[in-house]
Structure formats: structure tokens, C-alpha cells
Amino acid sequence: MRCRKCGTTAVINMRHHKLALCGEHYVEWVLAQTDRAIEKYKMFTRDERVLVAVSGGKDSLALWDVLLRLGYQADGLYIGLGINDPLPYSDASLEKTRKFLEFSIQYSVFRTGDDTQHATRITHPSTPLRSAQDASRFTPTLHVIDIAQTYGKTIPEIARAKMRGQGRPCAACGLTKRYVMNRLALDKGYAVLATGHNLDDEIAVLFQNTLRWQTGYLARQAPVLPASREGLVKKVKPFCRMYERETATYALVRGIDYIYDECPHAGGNLTNFYKTLLNQLETESPGAKLSFYLEFLRARGEGAFEQFNRVEELHACEVCGQPTSAPGRCAFCRMWDVSRVVE
């Protein structure tokens, strides 16, 4: 398979786009595609400060890399969940994230537009930056919030304490991450919070919601969740049209060293089952995953679920002041038994 642009050996063949590309042109393509999504869905501009939620995985590190190379003012937020049993998953993830940032700053790939790679095994020069001048004024920061240090327990510990050892800690983890991300973004004055959700993530959720026709959720699933007056920060997913395989290939081509392992608690969950089904669909009809998502966005944009989009009434949590629909304390403060604000 040859690169459509230059005829050298391709690193990826995207059947759904009928497009094969070499490493250099693939990186260029990912940058252009992401920038196009950012513009199309009005996610943010180069004048705004963006907070990227980074986990140390391929999607979030690739996203941070792409945003920096595109000249966006993108800082990172790593949340230490304390998932280190049986393997030091969280510690390893933070390590990868720190290394990524170090390399990025050291080689200033996003500053100078030169062709330095995160690793050396890739030989293709990367695409030049679109606005190297703007980018050169910016050095990214990584915020690290360690849950155990801040709130006294790791995620597995709080989940055990609250759920009496039953079920996965995923619900507690999700609630905590959403809270911490929102609060830090607000406190530090970021215009927008960006997450690395890729197309496969998005359609797994879409599929789940569609199978049960959860019209309220369908009404709210979008590449952009707007900010609320009450203090919910704007949330965006610049990779929402990128196949998981594409973000993985980007990370590989760029030599980004990411954490390969899934969270040890994620195994066998329903989302992965849906992803497997959707992959069968994609194999049968290349492009089916992308069109499932894009056609949903079109139908949604045409008002298919508009009447189900009830705006929840939010007010300030009586403890932390963050927006909540619950009366009194927010779900986070209740779960963590917070009775005064933790700074």
C-alpha cells in the first residue's frame, strides 16, 4: 500500500476514506482533520486557553500533541486515581504523561515547527506547524491532582467504602473525574475542557443509548457540551470523528510513548462488547461507524431529539459551590463525605 500523496510506503489505509498515507502525510492529515473538527463544531480558538484531560493513554496524549502542534494554548490535567493494584496503572500513566510533556518542551516540537519526533524510530519529517509564531509564545503546563492526597482515599478505596465492595469502581471514578476536571478548569480560568474521546468511544455510548432509545441522553450527545451559567465548563471532543485505530496510529507515528494497558477495572464491560459489535459492522461495511455518528449528528441537528433536551435546573452545592441538580450537597460531596471545601 502506497501513500496517496507521495507514493512511499503507507503506514495506514483508511478504507472508509479510501485513503492510504505515509507517516508524514498521515500526521499532516490528522492535524488538518482535527483542526477542521475544532472549527466546524466551534470548539475553541487559538486565543482561548484549553485544558486537555490527559490519562497517559494514546487518545489524550495524541490530542494534546495535536493541539500543541496546531498552535493552541493547551495545558494538561492529569488526575491520579490511585489505581495501582495489581499493577501500578496510575503511577505508570502519570510517568508517561510527564515524559510526554518533557519531550514536548525539550524538543519544542510545537514551538519551532521542526521535524523532531517524540521517539527516534520514525524517520518521516512531520508536518510544519500552522502558526508556529503564535505557538512559540506558549509553553504547556501539566496540572496534577492526586485524588488520595486531596480527598484522602484512592478511587478503589472510596468505591469499596461506598459500594460495600460490590461492582466496579467505574461510577465513582467517572463522577470524581468529571467533578475534578470541571472544578480545575473553572478555578484556573480555562475556556474549555477537551477530552480525547474518539469515534469508537462516542459511538459505543451512542449505540448503548440508541439500543434503549434513551432520548434524553441522545438529545445531549454532541461534540460540544456548552458551558452553563451555573458553572459547568464547556466540554469538547476534537477527536470525535477519529477512529480509535487512527489515534493509535498517530501516537505510533509520532513516537508518543503511551500506556497500552486498559484500566484493570474496564475489562469485559458492556462498552467493549458494543465496540466489538460495531467493529464487525465496520468490517462488513467500511465507513459504517463514521456514518452512524455523523448521520446521528445530522438527525440531532435537525431536531430529532430536541423535545427531550430538558435543561436541568442547577444550583450551587452548599459545600463546594459547584453546580449540581441535587438538593443540598452535590453528588461528589456526598460520595466523598465532604463537609467543607477542600483546597
Binding to a second copy by CB under 8 A, coded x per residue (else -) over 40-79, reads: ----------------------------------------
- Tally Cβ neighbours within 10 Å of residue 323: 19
> Applying CB under 8 A, does 92 fall inside the site for a second copy?
no
> Applying CB under 8 A, does 171 fall inside the site for a second copy?
no
Cis status of the peptide bond prior to 86, with omega within 30 of 0: yes
> Applying CB under 8 A, does 15 fall inside the site for a second copy?
no
> Applying CB under 8 A, does 316 fall inside the site for a second copy?
no
Q: In terms of CB distance, is 16 or 315 closer to a second copy?
A: 16
Give residues 204-243 in contact with a second copy (rule: CB under 8 A): 210-215
> Applying CB under 8 A, does 343 fall inside the site for a second copy?
no
**Residue range at the interface with a second copy (CB under 8 A); choices 5-13, 38-46, 276-284, 316-324:** 276-284
Binding to a second copy by CB under 8 A, coded x per residue (else -) over 192-211, reads: ------------------xx
Q: What angle do CA 176, 331, 50 make, to 5 degrees?
A: 45
Q: In terms of CB distance, is 138 or 217 closer to a second copy?
A: 217
Q: How many residues bind a second copy (CB under 8 A)?
A: 26
Instruction: List the one residue from 120, 123, 166, 307 that touches a second copy (CB under 8 A).
Output: 307
Instruction: List the one residue from 292, 320, 330, 332 that touches a second copy (CB under 8 A).
Output: 292
In angstroms, the CA 3 to CA 6 distance is 6
> Applying CB under 8 A, does 260 fall inside the site for a second copy?
no
- List the one residue out of 196, 265, 254 whose CA is nearest residue 57: 196
Q: In terms of CB distance, is 211 or 311 closer to a second copy?
A: 211
> Applying CB under 8 A, does 266 fall inside the site for a second copy?
no
> Applying CB under 8 A, does 288 fall inside the site for a second copy?
yes
> Applying CB under 8 A, does 281 fall inside the site for a second copy?
yes
Q: Give the residues lining the site for a second copy (CB under 8 A).
A: 210-215, 270, 273, 277, 280-281, 284-285, 288, 291-292, 295-296, 298-299, 302-305, 307-308
